[in-house]
Amino acid sequence: MWGVGLGPGDPELVTVKAARLIRDAGVIAYHSARHGRSIARGVAEPYLRGDQVEEALIYPVTTETTGHPGGYRGAIDDFYATCAERLAAHLDAGRDVVVLCEGDPLFYGSYMHLHKRLAHRYPTEVVPGVTSMSGASATLGRPLVEGEETLTVLPGTLPEDVLAERLAAADSAAILKLGRTFTSVREALRRAGRLDEAWYVERATTDRQRIAPLAEVDPAEVPYFSIAVLPSRAGASLTRVAGTGGATGAGMGRHAAVDGVTAEGATAEGAAAEGGLVGGAASQVPAPEGARGEVVVVGLGPAGRPWLTPEAQDALATADELVGYGPYLDRVAPNPRQRRHPTDNRVEAERAAHALELAQAGSRVAVVSSGDPGVFAMASAVLEVACEPRFARVRVRVVPGLTAAQAVAARAGAPLGHDYCVLSLSDRLKPWDVIAGRLTAAARADLVLAIYNPASRSRTWQVGAARDLLLEHRSPDTPVVIGRDVGGPGESLRVTTLAKLDPADVDMRCLLVIGSSTTRAVERDGRPAVFTPRRYPA
């Protein structure tokens, strides 16, 4: 295992050794907050091969409250223990692991929490990185210390009076962990008589870098990834290299990193300033007594990774077992730490029972669904089986996904802009007369319809029958959108009318959106745009 420092943000400040290890490693691990964007991965991206196993270590909480019985500290400790288990599984299997860390791994770095849990068990090496202090000093063009001066490094989370006392006695200082602490840090500098000497550096060495005298900075605009610097007094006559707000050098990364952990222990990547907070209490509710594992039913969205939510990414990354219909499982990147259980599409109850049994034995199980698991998918099947007494102690969570109806509607414009109805034409689990009654009711109510499962190899007549039923209550000119494999390599989108809807154009990969009386189809930029106004005629 290598703990690899990436420097303060510019990918060109990654060391030659770090770049080589990142390129050669079989497994790449990195931290992020629940928004899923990893600053460390962003810095390292130019050095990734593209075929490596990635372990996304996504914090369950950052600064918000949690329902964990051990509170915030308990939630974070459990998180690091789980992360260590995940990496240990790779190390036990003989796979080299690189843990990415902004700045230097052992300078307020997130890596150190894994180092403490694994370094005594496996061969381990730490690769140092350029610290945020060095990046800020270089950006300012001012030395931190000179001659016999000493440098004091302080976390902004210290009490204000302690900060003021130490700043008053310091030759030079670097204050990390700003963000929410900025107002207190500024007041401590004022009380120490040092405010006029202080400089503010935000996202040092990146293309989003900002420099300003600290006294002029608006506290409301300060992200966590910033640093306050009291440079060397001996170098006070030097001119800064970079102008305020400028960036030094080319090829800078998209994100910056200030080494450090929050006062509660979350890494810099878990800070509220970089993308906001998502409540973590639900994910920290302890499993019932006697049940070590859990089942998470995960919505993959209609297609690739760009439409996969960060919460779904986290559920997939932390799973021990993946269960699902084979083609859906194929959309999840392989990870040799995980076991995969592909099944046929028509064994939902058996698939659900298998997942629950795996969880009952202690595994973290992800059951995958295309789109949203609660829309004609696996969530209801899993919960139905979970109600059996034998699974009473197995925890089940549902993680939503972008639906096929939303994806097709977005590609077409906004046909679901007013009230709409979602129906499946499949008569495998309900009789056709029920489907026909619901189609008629929706047509009479003048609802837009999003129709799932319109046809299959064995069902070829339902589209024509549905069209004829709808024409009894709806204009022949009603716009119809036929979306096929939206988001996938075979994506196509056609706009026609209800009268011209040809069942031969519809297959099992399609979703239909049938407009209401107010739905409009227009041409924009040479392409059709379909929308339903939000205002309904009186």
Segment 33-62, tens digit of pLDDT: 888 789 999 999 999 999 999 999 998 876
Q: Let me know: does 420 contact 534? Beta carbons within 8 Å.
A: no
pLDDT of residue 538: 77
List residues bridging with 395 in a β-sheet. 294
pLDDT of residue 329: 94
Residue 12's Cβ-count burial label (10 Å; 0-12, 13-18, 19+) is middle
Q: Which domains does the chain have, with CATH numbers?
A: 2-128+260-268 (3.40.1010.10), 133-235 (3.30.950.10), 287-402 (3.40.1010.10), 405-531 (3.30.950.10)
Q: Let me know: does 39 contact 254? Beta carbons within 8 Å.
A: no
**Helix H or strand E segment including 175:** strand 172-176
pLDDT of residue 266: 34
Give the DSSP per-residue string, 37-64: --HHHHHHGGG--SSSEEEEEE-S-SSS
The contacts of residue 22 (CB under 8 Å, 6+ apart) are: 4, 14, 28, 44, 47, 48, 98, 100
Q: Let me know: does 492 contact 484? Beta carbons within 8 Å.
A: yes
**Nearest of 241, 275, 265, 222 to residue 136 by alpha carbon:** 241
> Tokens 């928004």 sit at which residue?
35
Give the DSSP per-residue string, 75-105: HHHHHHHHHHHHHHHHHHTT--EEEEESB-T
Taking only the tens place, the pLDDT of each residue in 178-220 is 989 999 999 999 999 999 999 999 999 998 999 999 999 999 9
In the structure encoding, which two tokens stand for residue 464, read together? 């024509």
pLDDT of residue 276: 30
Q: Decide the pairing of beta strands 125-127 and 2-5.
A: parallel
**Helix H or strand E segment including 352:** helix 348-360
Please measure the distance between the N-terminal and C-terminal CA atoms of the chain and give it in whole angstroms.
Answer: 68
- How far, in Å, are 27, 103, 105, 170, 447 from residue 5 at the CA level? 16, 6, 5, 28, 56
CA–centroid distance for 46 within its chain: 20
- Give CA angle at 402 (401, 408), nearest 5°: 155
Q: Let me know: does 482 contact 494? Beta carbons within 8 Å.
A: yes
pLDDT of residue 235: 61
List residues bridging with 451 in a β-sheet. 423, 512
List residues bridging with 445 in a β-sheet. none
Pick out the chain residues at pLDDT < 50. 239-291
Backbone angles phi, psi at 405, to 5 degrees: -60, -40
Query: What pTM was computed for the model?
Result: 0.74
Q: What share of the chain is helix, strand, coil (3-state, %, to 5)?
A: 35, 20, 45
- How far, in Å, are 164, 272, 291, 360, 386 from residue 390 at the CA level? 61, 41, 12, 9, 8
- Rounded to 10°, the helix 71-92/111-118 angle is 60
pLDDT of residue 70: 75
The contacts of residue 61 (CB under 8 Å, 6+ apart) are: 72, 75, 76, 266, 270, 280, 281, 284
The contacts of residue 14 (CB under 8 Å, 6+ apart) are: 6, 7, 22, 43, 44, 47, 129
Taking only the tens place, the pLDDT of each residue in 371-403 is 999 999 999 999 999 999 999 999 999 999 999
